[in-house]
């Protein structure tokens, strides 16, 4: 169980990624569809428009009569718009001279005193497709945008081919196309909102069992549950079964390892007790050495028993065990204050009432007790203890003193098992090493630094139980 605060994830969650991907894809498809529909509608509208211009061209071909000298007479077409000035509907018949310059033979009255311009190379384009027509955009008499249809015809009895132009103001078509685009965007916008809502609902509903499984795993890890409750969809049942089997196997393996360590430790404790008892009844340097080393071995056995228990808890065997931090600190401070009363040691402590250690009380007692004992011995009479929440699943315990402190090299050596920075003081040198090992067994860590009072600051991070 790691308790270091995880770095904030900059990547979006799975739901956001799925919704974003589906939204982008849906919007891309809808936009492409709207553009394609608009283009199809515009082409259809222009084809209908061109059909009207084609009818006007056919009427011109039927009403045109060549005259002597190369002129052309056009009978009345019966189209009132072509006889009203600047009405928006025009026609013109031109002949291209050998030098390439167009000559207007006849034009509609609606053009009044203007002419329809010919595109550069129009004559060659029409000559390349004699049975077809060419459509293009051109400015009208009043600067409006016209749709022009040009056809190359050879009139009976005429001296050469002519170019017939039929044109009409296309603003009505453009207005229809714009209206179609607006309507399409509105409809597709509503469709996009509906699709997005459907995607969000489907993703949420589809991933809800995974969210529930994640919550149950979090409860299990935090000690609020002892196993997965089940009731998942058929697709997730194999995953849940495998997770349950894995946790059961892990718990059983840890229990077996813990039992082996415990059996070995208990098997050693009895012979060590016999040796200590026998040596204590004797006199001489050898008996004293035996008593001293037997006591050290007993402490080592005790230490490794605690490490085995902490490892088993961290692996899930102790799920559900929690210890209020304030209660433990209160008991330790009262005890140590009485023990060091003659030395004038003053211990100040502070811890929130709702701060809970996710582990066994004895382990927290040993961690905090070792640190406080060292601070009382070497802290110059002033010790400060502060416990606080260090993250979503972490608590931080800080012990400051006003003693001489440690150099960086001494701080590094102090965590080595059995290291003695002061050989004149009693002890085995295992205090900080025990704390470090227990903290790491719980997934935490131990840091040594400089306190604000100039002495040593010890900071230990441990798992925190959350509601």
**Per-residue pLDDT tens over the stretch 306-339:** 666 665 555 554 555 778 999 999 999 999 988 8
- pLDDT tens, position by position, for the chain (467 residues)? 334 334 444 445 666 777 788 778 888 888 888 889 989 998 998 889 888 888 888 888 888 888 776 678 888 787 888 888 888 899 988 887 666 667 888 888 888 888 887 777 777 788 777 667 888 888 888 888 899 888 888 777 676 788 888 999 988 888 999 999 999 989 988 988 888 888 888 877 877 888 788 787 777 766 566 677 767 788 778 888 888 888 788 777 767 776 777 777 777 777 877 787 887 777 777 887 887 888 778 777 776 666 666 655 555 545 557 789 999 999 999 999 888 888 888 999 999 988 999 888 888 888 898 899 888 888 888 899 999 998 778 899 999 998 888 888 888 777 764 444 444 444 434 467 778 888 888 888 898 989 888 889 999 999 888 76
The tens digit of pLDDT for each residue in 152-192 reads 887 776 767 888 889 999 888 889 999 999 999 899 889 88
Q: Are 164 and 153 in contact (CB under 8 A)?
A: yes
DSSP assignment of 220-234 equals HHHTS-SS------T
Q: Please give the model's pTM, rounded to 2 decimal places.
A: 0.46
d(CA 354, CA 361): 15
Nearest one of 401, 402, 407, 462 to 437, comparing CA atoms: 462
The two counts, helices (H) then strands (E), for the chain are 9, 14
Q: Are 408 and 429 in contact (CB under 8 A)?
A: no
d(CA 117, CA 101): 11
d(CA 78, CA 23): 56
Per the listing, tokens 């991070």 go with: 461
Nearest one of 462, 461, 268, 448 to 375, comparing CA atoms: 448
- Structure token pair of residue 120: 């550069």
The tens digit of pLDDT for each residue in 198-249 reads 888 887 787 788 878 878 777 776 656 667 776 778 877 888 888 888 878 8
Q: For strand 382-391 and strand 346-350, is the pairing parallel, antiparallel, or unpaired?
A: parallel
């Amino acid at each position: 169980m790691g308790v270091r605060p995880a770095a904030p994830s900059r990547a979006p969650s799975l739901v956001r990624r799925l919704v974003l991907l589906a939204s982008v894809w849906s919007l891309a498809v809808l936009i492409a569809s709207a553009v394609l529909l608009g283009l199809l509608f515009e082409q259809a509208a222009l084809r209908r428009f061109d059909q009207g211009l084609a009818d006007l061209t056919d009427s011109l071909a039927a009403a045109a009569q060549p005259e002597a000298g190369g002129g052309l007479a056009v009978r009345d077409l019966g189209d009132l718009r072509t006889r009203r000035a600047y009405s928006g509907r025009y026609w013109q018949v031109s002949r291209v001279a050998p030098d390439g310059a167009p000559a207007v033979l006849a034009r509609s009255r609606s053009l009044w005193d203007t002419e329809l311009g010919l595109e550069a190379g129009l004559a060659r384009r029409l000559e390349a497709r004699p049975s077809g027509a060419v459509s293009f955009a051109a400015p009208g008499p009043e600067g409006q945008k016209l749709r022009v249809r040009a056809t190359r015809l050879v009139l009976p009895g005429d001296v050469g081919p002519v170019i017939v132009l039929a044109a009409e103001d296309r603003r009505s078509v453009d207005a229809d196309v714009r209206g179609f685009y607006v309507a399409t965007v509105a409809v597709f916008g509503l469709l996009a909102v509906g699709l997005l809502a459907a995607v969000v609902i489907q993703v949420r509903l589809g991933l809800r069992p995974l969210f529930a499984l994640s919550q149950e795993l979090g409860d299990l890890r935090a000690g609020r549950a002892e196993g997965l409750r089940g009731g998942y969809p058929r697709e997730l049942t194999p995953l849940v079964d495998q997770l349950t089997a894995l946790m059961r196997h892990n718990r059983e393996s840890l229990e077996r390892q813990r039992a082996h360590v415990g059996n070995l430790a208990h098997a050693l404790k009895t012979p060590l007790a016999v040796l200590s008892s026998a040596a204590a009844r004797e006199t001489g340097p050898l008996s004293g050495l035996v008593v001293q080393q037997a006591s050290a071995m007993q402490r080592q056995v005790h230490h490794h028993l605690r490490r085995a228990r902490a490892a088993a808890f961290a692996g899930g065997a102790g799920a559900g065990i929690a210890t209020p931090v304030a209660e433990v600190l209160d008991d330790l401070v009262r005890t140590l204050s009485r023990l060091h009363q003659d030395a004038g040691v003053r211990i100040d402590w502070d811890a929130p009432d709702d701060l809970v250690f996710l582990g066994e009380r004895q382990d927290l007692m040993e961690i905090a007790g070792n640190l406080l004992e060292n601070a009382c011995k070497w802290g110059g009479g002033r010790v400060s203890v502060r416990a606080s929440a260090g993250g979503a699943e972490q608590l931080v315990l800080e012990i400051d003193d006003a003693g001489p402190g440690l150099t960086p090299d001494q701080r590094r050596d102090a965590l080595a098992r059995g290291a003695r920075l002061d050989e004149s003081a009693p002890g085995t040198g295992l205090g900080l090493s025990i704390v470090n090992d227990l903290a790491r067994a719980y997934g935490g860590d131990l840091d040594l630094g400089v306190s604000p009072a100039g002495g040593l600051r010890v900071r230990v991070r441990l798992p925190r139980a959350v509601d």
